[in-house]
């Protein structure tokens, strides 16, 4: 519960989908959105997990990498989705802020502005990915 609360303030996201599709059908559905000319491209796909990223025509370093874990569940599958920016961004931004700010309280407003920009751009892209996945699996998210 605390983790779910903290996720709101961090550039990460976790979503759960319960679908009537079998795990194999979920993988097949994911593969349909990875065809040439589609909105997504695959980083990797296996029998019970996948890693994808949305193709965009603009630059956004905070674009989430979508990692999905598929497991059998009751009549279908449970898909756990974890989203986060590229690891380089997660490492670079804190180092950048520490160097720029030098831990100075007077630069708190700059820190807050950068933090909010990161959060807003990531959450915006995360929202789009969640809507696409809801449409793909034909379900609404379960938290």
**Is 39 contained in some domain?**
yes
Rg of the chain in Å (alpha carbons): 17
**Is 143 contained in some domain?**
no
**Is 92 contained in some domain?**
yes
Name the pTM for this structure.
0.79
**Is 142 contained in some domain?**
no
Is 142 strand, coil or helix? strand
**Is 16 contained in some domain?**
yes
**Is 89 contained in some domain?**
yes
Tens digits of residue pLDDT in 81-121? 999 988 888 788 777 777 766 655 556 777 777 788 888 88
pLDDT band at residue 142 using 50, 70 and 90 as cut-offs: low
The label of the residue with tokens 């009751």 reads: 74
Tens digits of residue pLDDT in 28-86? 888 888 777 777 777 778 888 898 888 888 877 788 899 999 999 888 999 999 999 88
- Cα–Cα distance measured from residue 48 to residue 134, given in angstroms and rounded to the nearest whole number: 18
**Is 97 contained in some domain?**
yes
Range of the domain at 95: 2-137
Count of structural domains within the chain: 1
Checking if the pLDDT of 1 tops 60, the result is no
- Cα–Cα distance measured from residue 57 to residue 43, given in angstroms and rounded to the nearest whole number: 18
Strands (E), 46-125: 49-54, 65-73, 76-84
- Cα–Cα distance measured from residue 48 to residue 45, given in angstroms and rounded to the nearest whole number: 8
- pLDDT at position 68 is 92
pLDDT mean over 10-30:
88
Buried b (16+ CB within 10 A) or exposed e, 116-143: eebeebbbebbeebbebbeebbebebee
**Is 46 contained in some domain?**
yes
- pLDDT at position 3 is 63
- The rounded mean pLDDT for the chain is 81
- pLDDT at position 143 is 55
Q: What is the CATH number of the domain that holds 95?
A: 3.30.530
What angle do helix axes 108-137 and 23-32 make, rounded to 10 degrees? Answer: 110
């Amino acid at each position: 519960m605390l983790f779910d609360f903290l996720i709101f303030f961090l550039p990460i996201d976790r979503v759960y989908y319960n679908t009537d599709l079998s795990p194999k059908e979920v993988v097949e559905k994911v593969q349909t959105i990875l065809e040439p000319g589609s909105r997504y491209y695959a980083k990797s796909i296996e029998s019970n997990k996948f890693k994808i990223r949305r193709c965009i025509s603009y630059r956004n370093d905070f674009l989430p990498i979508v990692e999905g874990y598929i497991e059998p569940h009751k009549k279908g599958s449970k898909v756990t989705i974890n989203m986060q920016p590229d690891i380089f961004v997660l490492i670079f931004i804190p180092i950048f802020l520490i160097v720029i700010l030098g831990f100075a309280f007077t630069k708190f407003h700059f820190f807050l502005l950068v933090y909010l920009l990161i959060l807003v751009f990531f959450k915006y892209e995360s929202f789009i990915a969640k809507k696409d996945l809801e449409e793909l699996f034909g379900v609404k998210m379960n938290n």
